[in-house]
Each structure stands twice: as C-alpha cells, then as structure tokens.
Amino acid sequence: MKKTAEMKGLLDPSLMRKTIVDAFRKLNPGSLWRNPVMLVVEFGSILTTIIAFISAFQHSGFWFNLQITVWLWFTVLFANFAEALAEGRGKAQADSLKKARNDAIANRLLPDGSTESVGATSLVKGDVVLIKDNEIIPSDGEIIEGVALVDESAVTGESAPVIRESGGDRTGVTGGTHVLSGTIHIRITAGMGETFLDQMIAMVESSSRRKTPNEIALEILLIGLTALFIVVTLTLRAFAGYMNVTVAAPVLVALLVCLMPTTIGGLLPAIGIAGMDRLIEHNVIALSGRAVEASGDVSVVLLDKTGTITLGNRMATEFLAAEGITEQQLMESSVLASLADDTPEGRSIVTLAKQRLDIRGRDIRAPQGSTFVPFSADTRMSGIDYGNRHIRKGAVDAIEQWVKENGGQFPETVHALVDGVGREGGTPLVVSDGASVMGVIRLKDVLKQGIKERLSQLHVLGIKSVMITGDNPLTAAAIAAEAGIDDFVAQARPETKLNLIRKYQSNGSMVAMIGDGTNDAPALAQADVGVAMNAGTQSAREAANLVDLDSNPTKLLDIVEIGKQILITRGSLTTFSIANDVAKYFAIIPAIFAAKYPQLAVLNVMHLHSSASAILSAVIFNALIIPSLIPLSMRGVQYHPSSANALLWRNLLIYGAGGLALPFVGIRLIDLLLVAIKVVR
C-alpha cells in the first residue's frame, strides 16, 4: 500500500507537468554545470545536432545522425527529469508547510507591563509575547511563564495536543502552532526567516541543499571516470585512423556517452534530494547534510534519560520520613524547598503534600524574609533559607555532601530508603534541614510509549545504546533495564556527557546523542549526530544538527535507517551503472571495427543486426535506463540489518551481476525492435 501511494505521488499530473517543464529548463548549461557528467553529454548532444544539421544538406547519414542526436538529448532530459522530480516533491511539501505559517497578530509585552498588537513579521529575537487560548504562536520561542496545551499538528502532523510549560525541558514552541488552552509568556528566539519552519521549508525546496562529503567524493570519482573515457575516446579515434578505419563523430560521441557513468551521474542528485525528503516525511529537520550521512554509520547512541527515554514528568508519589522525623515534618520541609521550583517535579511535590496535609485549594506562602536557592546543574539541589533554617532538596550525593559540610551525618537508614526507591525504578530526592536529614521523596519516571520495542531494534542494527542521567546508579539501572538500554552512566554532569562522547570518538566510534535540555547542548554539539527534541530548550536545538519535531527519541531508528538507505542506494546504483557499461563495449566496439576487421565479429555476442543498430540500441538503452531507475532512486534501496560483508555480497549479486546481465538483454531486445519497425537496415 505504501509503495502504491508513493507511485501515485510520483505520477501526480500537476507534479509531472511541472517536472517536465523544469527538465527542459535545466538544459541551461549554467544550471547543468553542477552535474559535470551530464554537462559533457549535453555538449556531445550539441555537437551531434550540428553534425545532423549539416548532414541533412549533404544527404549522407542524416537519419542515423538524427536518431543518435535525439536519444542523446533524451539522456540529458531524463537525468534532468529525475532531479526535477525529486525537487518537485520537496517543493510540494514546502508548499504544504507554508500553509502552516500564519501572519498572526502577536501581543508584545512592553516594559511597563502593557501589551501592543503587532504583526508576527515584526517580531525580533528577545521580544516577549503574551499568548492566550485559541491564539497562534507567532514565531519560535521559549516559554518563560505559564503552561499551555498546544496543537502542533500544523507542523508535526501529530493530531494529539501536547503540554508546553516553563521550567524543565519542555519549554520550546514552534511558530505556526496553536494554543488550545492556557496563558503563556514566550520569549522569541528566532527572527523572521530563521524559524525552524523556515529552515524546514528551505531544506525541502532543495535548492539550498548542500552536497554531502560522500556525494562530493562520488562526484569526483565520476568526473575522473568521465575524463578517462574522454581520453580513451580521443585515443580510439587516433588508433582507428592508424588502422584505416573511419569513425564518424556521432559514433564517437555515442561511444563516450555509453562508456561514461551516465546512469549514476543522472540519478545522483535525485538520490540525495529524495533522501532528505524522506527525512522530512519523518518530521526531522536536518541542519546538516553531513549529519544525515553520518547517521548511517552510527555505532553508539547516547540518550539522556529525562524527556528522552522517559516522559520527563516525574511525579512525586510518596514521602518516606527519616528515623525520628514525622511524615508531616518531611512534607512541610519538602513544600518549603519546592515553592520556587517551577518544574513539573517541584509542582507535583507541592500538590502531593497539600493532598496529604488536606490543605487543597489553599496557597502556601514562604515565611517572610525567605531567600530561595534555585536549582543548578552544578549543585543539583534547590531550597530555601530563612532565619536559622537552610532547607535543601536534591540528588542523594549532593544532599549528603551538603549535610556533611554542615557538620551532620547521613543516616544509613536513609541510604536504605534511597536504595529501596532506586531498586523499584523510582527517583529518590533527599530533603535536609541544615545538618538534619528529613527523609526521601519518591519520584516516578514514566517511559515513553514504545521506547523499549524501538530501542531493541538498535541491537539488530549493531548499535550500542547508552543512557546518561544525573540519577543515582540504582535508579539508573532500574530505568535502563526497563527500557532495554545496553549501558548507563549515572550521576552524570554536563561535562560527563561531553567526555564520554569524546572517549567513544577516540576509539573510532561514530556517536549519536539525543537530548532536549540546556545541559545537553555541549554534548549535542560534540556528537557526530546530535538530535534535539523540538519540545526542548532553544540552546539544545541550536547545538544539534538534527531536530525531531515530534520529540520522539525512537525517531533515531528512522534517522539511522534513512542514513544507511542513502549510502546503500548511492552505492548500489553506482555498482549498477559501472557494471552495465560492459555490455555496451560488446555492442559498440565490434560495430566500429568489424567492417574492416571481420574477425572482431566474434565480440558481437548479442548478435546485433548491424553496426548502425548496435550503436543506436546501446544509446537508446543508455537513455532509457535512467528513467527506469527513478522510482528506485526516489524510494531508496531497502535496508535490511546485516553485516557489512553480507551487504557487500548482496550489492554485488543484485546490482553488480544484475547490472552486468540486464544491458545484454535490453540492448538485444531494442535491436530486434528497431529491425522490426525498420528504423535501421
């Protein structure tokens, strides 16, 4: 069903009409110079056109020269058609994306607290806008206050609305999405033309797509082969003259075009563009073509736990008081330490405590003269200071160090509580009042749906998965086991992630990193493939080279498969292109020399009718094979997880042997058809 839908998309009448026009437009040498192989074919076509025009007045070989000329022009047009079709699909996607952009009216906040209505196009980085129910988010930004239910279907295609809120790692919002309910303040982080939607549109329109290193290397190879065959053809002309064999210029041009790797030369741009389009179909923005290609060689994947493997909304479920401390005392201290904590975890602690204390609906205020201590990645704790009390809430090792610095001892009974929470897959937060440990708050992490099943497929691809988290080792081990992760690193700081990536890279591994928080930014920038969740922070998205609009970490599997598919498709069609040139040697070489040297007729293994039909059949097959392979280059060669050796043999068997055999059959059938319809004698 999927292939049928793809073919219907390729055969869309409006797309086909535009593609045909674009194929002719690309005949302009100023446009074709980016494809040197086809540029040489075009120059050859121009030469044979001139010769055919002259021969029309000389009444010598006009019909043969005309046929050669027509099919050489078709060769160029078919190559242009392949590229134009890939670009056309991308531009069609871009047109649909542009509909998601809305010149909305934004309520920009002024320094005095009032608002002014301005067009979305006039917003600049740093502006703060107020957005309420049923309003369009005018541009990319980060929520700095409030929480809202956002419909992102216009951008991601996902119908289910999502929650975006200040604090934590789900602050990012995308221009063109729709606030269903809630009131939020957004700080604009992208100017006009710089939003992710703009980047997405620019990428799928293909004109700004940069060639990847692998594509450039292959293009250099094709240019080298083309130059080699130009020399061979010119040399052959000299040898033929020495052997008293006259070779007409159109025949030499036909020989050159058939010997050059025109098949892969014509399809190479389409393969790259179609690969990027497939990435867009999975709602992934590629900010670097190099990253897409590198994803095909990834061997290690580093995943941040919170917001990537888990939903990120850890909820407080239980208060476990230390020995000598009542549950009410623990809850009161926990609430005070969480009043300034605007994260989902902090709010859930306050909510649970109010339920247990039966004070629902009432505000809890901090004591007068209090000073809040915000959470930081370095200290990994937060709290409140007032009077002689210094209440802290945070990671186990951070609170343990804090207690010791204040002259206290961390009770073994609390260690036992922490271990118990960790073994059950929860996340323990410890609360202390100065040197006194009050107890433990149990937070429950929830795995993202389908994460275990998708990550298990990484094993099949031979990719090692490593979870990185700031949690204690017991909690990390429980989550890793539940998600099916190969390895984990617990109690990690931002520099831990960075150093781990460098360690794997120094061992020759290609590393992919998935993250969504500000503390993930250095690691995302260092990784060979950095995938940021669109719902994450702006700094994470700026550091990454791929952005997942669906904020789904399992998307990495799709990214890796697309990367491998691009590499395999390019390699398979290159193998096919080089292999199918062999049959053309057996068609054209005997046709040139057999008349003078009949013994060379033994090379006519296809038993072609005549020299003219042999040359013309080879040229026609060379032209027709390009459009025949367009669906494959657009869809990509299917990737089957297996070893590199197995992939090599499969490639040689199908595209090497197939590319060798098919032209013998194809050229012979074309020869029979030409004779049957009396195109040649």
Active site residues: 304
- The H or E element containing residue 144 is strand 141-151
Please state, in angstroms and rounded to a whole number, the distance separating the CA atoms of residues 87 and 135: 34
Q: Is 378 annotated as a binding residue?
A: yes
Name the token pair of 651.
């490639």
Q: Is 380 annotated as a binding residue?
A: yes
386 bridge partner residues? 389
Task: From 374, 411, 410, select the one nearest 393 (Cα to Cα).
Answer: 374
**3-state DSSP assignment of residue 532:** strand
Q: Is 38 annotated as a binding residue?
A: no
Do 483 and 288 contact (CB within 8 A), yes or no? no
Q: Is 382 annotated as a binding residue?
A: yes
**3-state DSSP assignment of residue 304:** strand
For 382, 398, 469, the CA distances from 401, given in Å and listed in that order, are 14, 5, 19
Q: Is 206 annotated as a binding residue?
A: no
Please state, in angstroms and rounded to a whole number, the distance separating the CA atoms of residues 557 and 621: 38
Q: Is 581 annotated as a binding residue?
A: no
User: In which region does residue 490 sit, left (phi positive, over 0), alpha (psi from -120 to 50) or beta (all else)?
Assistant: beta
Please state, in angstroms and rounded to a whole number, the distance separating the CA atoms of residues 547 and 514: 10
Please state, in angstroms and rounded to a whole number, the distance separating the CA atoms of residues 416 and 395: 15
Helix ranges (DSSP H) in 243-324:
249-259, 262-281, 289-295
Q: Is 260 annotated as a binding residue?
A: no
User: DSSP secondary structure string, 418-477?
Assistant: HHHHHHTTEEEEEEEETTEEEEEEEEE--BPTTHHHHHHHHHHTT-EEEEE-SS-HHHHH
Please state, in angstroms and rounded to a whole number, the distance separating the CA atoms of residues 167 and 181: 18
For 328, 334, 351, 378, the CA distances from 362, given in Å and listed in that order, are 17, 16, 11, 33
Q: Is 551 annotated as a binding residue?
A: no
Task: From 180, 184, 198, 191, select the one nearest 101 (Cα to Cα).
Answer: 198
**3-state DSSP assignment of residue 361:** coil
Please state, in angstroms and rounded to a whole number, the distance separating the CA atoms of residues 406 and 404: 5
Please state, in angstroms and rounded to a whole number, the distance separating the CA atoms of residues 83 and 90: 11
Please state, in angstroms and rounded to a whole number, the distance separating the CA atoms of residues 459 and 485: 10
Q: Is 277 annotated as a binding residue?
A: no
Q: Is 22 annotated as a binding residue?
A: no
Q: Is 523 annotated as a binding residue?
A: no
Do 616 and 64 contact (CB within 8 A), yes or no? yes
Q: Is 26 annotated as a binding residue?
A: no
Q: Is 520 annotated as a binding residue?
A: yes
Binding residues for ATP: 341, 345, 375-382, 393
Binding residues: 341, 345, 375-382, 393, 516, 520
Binding residues for Mg(2+): 516, 520
